[in-house]
Amino acid sequence: MARQRIPLGRILGIPVGLDPSWFLIFALLTWMLARSYYPDEFQNWSAALYWFMGALTALLFFASVLLHELGHSVMALYYHIRVRSITLHIFGGIAEIGGESPSAMAEFLIAIAGPLVSFALAVIFYVLQPVFFTVQPLFGLFKYLAYINLTLALFNLVPGYPLDGGRVLRAVVWAVSGDMKRATIIAANIGRGFAFLFISIGVWQILSGNLGGGLWIAFIGWFLDNAAKAQLQHIAMER
Ligand SMILES: [Zn+2]
């Protein structure tokens, strides 16, 4: 997403910014939390508290996404690969890593670092949850952050490129075959298979009456398919 970004500053020398599409997902997530998640969990709050907690939770969710991307970035920097930027956008976040990994091991560690950060955050929020049992907003906040970080880790481990799991798979095939390009082609084609699966589930959900959720899943599938296709075209061009 190379459109104009809204700069937020630098972390570890990496420019961090927001894609304009981020505001849409931030608003949707805040709305979902304020109107559905928190009212279902706690019935006696004021409207202002629901909206405040919705916005705060959405912000902390994106802080979690940022930490996930920093996980990838720190590992890339360790291998002296430049990280051009980190951008938060409608599908979460992306760390733009400016070069290929020098080895299958480096590729594996850069790919796995993000989901490991998300798992660690899920565990931390899960452990903190009972500490705040008597403070309803904090209890609800930590419960949601534990759940969403676990979901983030598991979703990203789906073994299809461009998801982190696809990069892990690529690293493993690369290590076994010694052929980085072949590994990329395999991971990208499996990625296209998962993208097709997401689009199919999305269409099925839309037909079953879940318009919002179905559109969202299909949209993610379409986005993943484009990224996998771009990677395959890149390899074809190099050949
Ligand atoms: Zn990741």
> Mind listing the pLDDT tens digit for each residue in 200-238?
999 999 999 999 889 989 999 999 999 999 989 988 887
* Residues 67, 140 within the same domain: yes
* Residues 59, 86 within the same domain: yes
Q: Check: CB of residue 9 under 8 Å from CB of residue 16.
A: yes
Residues in the chain: 239
What total number of domains does the chain contain? 2
d(Cα 192, Cα 169) in Å, to the nearest integer?
Answer: 14
Catalytic residue of the set 69, 100, 107, 238: 69
54-103: pLDDT as tens digits: 999 999 999 999 999 999 999 999 999 999 999 999 888 999 988 888 99
* Residues 12, 120 within the same domain: yes
* Residues 117, 182 within the same domain: no
Q: What pLDDT sits at residue 183? A: 94
125-172: pLDDT as tens digits: 999 988 888 888 999 999 999 999 999 999 999 998 889 999 999 999
Residue 97 DSSP SS3: strand
> Is the confidence at residue 1, as pLDDT, over 80?
no
* Residues 176, 221 within the same domain: yes
Tell which of 134, 157, 180 closes a domain: 157
Q: Give the predicted TM-score (pTM) of the model.
A: 0.90
* Residues 135, 195 within the same domain: no
| Distance from the alpha carbon of residue 179 to the mean position of ligand 1, in angstroms | 23
* Residues 150, 166 within the same domain: no
d(Cα 222, Cα 198) in Å, to the nearest integer?
Answer: 8
Q: What pLDDT sits at residue 168? A: 96
**Radius of gyration over every alpha carbon of the chain, rounded to an integer in angstroms:** 19
Residue 44 DSSP SS3: coil
Q: Is 96 noted as a catalytic residue in this protein?
A: no
* Residues 125, 227 within the same domain: no
Place of tokens 């890339």: 76
| Distance from the alpha carbon of residue 42 to the mean position of ligand 1, in angstroms | 32
The boundaries of the domain holding residue 67 are 1-157
* Residues 51, 14 within the same domain: yes
